[in-house]
Amino acid sequence: MSDPTDAEANPLRECLPRTRVPEPCVVVLFGATGDLTHRKLMPALYNLARGGNLPAECAIVGFARRDWDDAKFRSEIETTLKGAAVSDFDDVWPQFAPRLAFSPGTFDDEKAYEALRAKLEQVDATHGTKGNRLYYLAVAPEFFAIIVEQLGKAGLIQSPHQEGPWTRIVIEKPFGHDLKSARTLNRDVSRVLDESQVYRIDHYLGKETVQNILALRFGNSMFEPVWNRRHVESVQITVAEEVGMAGGRGAYYDTSGAIRDMVQNHMMQLLCLVAMEPPVDLSADAVRNEKLKVLQSLPKWNDDDVARNVVRGQYAAGSIQGADVPAYHQEKGIPPDSKTGTYVALRLTLNNWRWADVPFYLRTGKALPKRATEIAIQFKQPPTALFESDTEGSGGANLLILRIQPNEGASLAFQAKIPGSRRRLQEVRMDFRYGTAFASPPPEAYERLLLDVMLGDPTLFTRTDEVDSAWRFITTILDAWDRGVGQPVPYPAGTWGPPEADRLIEADGGSWRRL
């Protein structure tokens, strides 16, 4: 059953202004009963529909092992959306609910895929989705290759080289556990799918504040001339998490740690956007080609380099905002002798013309004092000190802060003369906040990314050569750790990390920003 197209009869069309509307399609959610689907994906799809950014001929089919039917799935999603406090629920839900269907089965059961194929054919006939398929793998990484293989066997993959319906598949992170496993997974996926059909998602790239890095750099003529080693002293990238192992993630996190969970994907992407060269245009390959060059310019370290430039920490017992936090090895699901790092700080330089000898400092950790993600561009001091400074240690150096979350925005620190007869300077700031400037908070990252997949725009998704290059650098560190280099050092929960991380940056005469 298709939704009515008349605006007065269809609240989905009138709640928010439409932007880009993709072709008819079915969104198949593997892992439809899981946390990601309920917490992020379904609210994002609902909001896209509410804003008129889904075609009337669009349906959503859940696939999971629970023995549900369409009615049960709709009931569960209704509860989810009400709990998420989405807008205009009473107006939109009656139009949204008929789009939902469910097909039960396990990921390795061939008969379940035959049933899924029959369900999709039924949905095509009922909703007019024209055979276009978006498969979203919101499942544990060990099921990625299995699902792709079964989709291929069941004839549920349409070749991109033939005219007709399209097939696209979204694969959540982590794409691999190290370089070898990433290459194995890519080989398994490429047996069934063309690279153009694979969308490796990193939700950080869907954040408006992350995309704004490109706008700030290449949409303003004032920044690009000074965005290089002649004017930039250093760059700090921080991804701080206040939470520890709440929510029962301990068992998974212990196989991942901060370096796999954050550095290999989120932080490498932020590094690329800060350091990349201007693309010839904003097409997918033009942007991703420049990001790849950054990853290819990462240093090639040996064990001694890892020991000098990387600090691995693990939080000990402490407190955050007055609440006691147990040590990591005392958390549920964590072995008492675990050496998994919950904190990583590293110093690196890029082997290219623009950034030669400019240190990039990256840090991320769990159980830190606050949740915050920011990029700090520290510019060099003026060559001569003509004025008196009222700020100790500033020396007139300018600082650009890009706040990814929370308090999304940017600020630029510069020197201004203090009124009076003396030639004294004081640091002042120009501040931009998304919520104030645009009178509304940025949209959720998954809304933008899901819409881009339906539109066939892979700009904000990582290409296989990007994944390979990032893993090559990270695996060097992992292998060194496996050989006993850099044992994890403790830091009390609620602090900004171990003293060793402070010494890492202090050796260059700097210090970490206190967010």
Active site residue ranges: 266
User: What does the angle CA 386 – CA 392 – CA 394 come to, to the nearest 5 degrees?
Assistant: 60
The torsion angle over the Cα atoms of residues 175, 180, 185 and 191, rounded to 10 degrees, is: 140
Q: How far is CA 500 from the centre of its chain?
A: 28
Amino acid, single-letter form, for residue 473: F
Joined together, the tokens standing for residue 82 give 């009400």
Joined together, the tokens standing for residue 399 give 């600082």
CA distance 27 to 166: 12
Q: Which helix (H) or strand (E) holds 213?
A: helix 208-218
Joined together, the tokens standing for residue 24 give 């008819």
Amino acid, single-letter form, for residue 403: R
Range 277-283, long-range pairs (CB < 8 A, 24+ positions): 277/354, 278/217, 278/218, 278/224, 279/218, 282/214, 282/459, 283/459
Given a contact cutoff of 8 angstroms between Cβ atoms, the answer to whether 260 and 279 are in contact is: no
- Say whether 255 sits in a helix, a strand or coil: coil
Amino acid, single-letter form, for residue 477: I
Q: Is 427 exposed, middle or buried (0-12, 13-18, 19+ CB in 10 A)?
A: middle
Q: Please state whether 333 falls in left (phi above 0), alpha (psi between -120 and 50) or beta.
A: left
End-to-end CA distance of the chain: 52
CA distance 234 to 274: 12
CA distance 81 to 440: 21
Amino acid, single-letter form, for residue 370: K
Given a contact cutoff of 8 angstroms between Cβ atoms, the answer to whether 205 and 460 are in contact is: yes
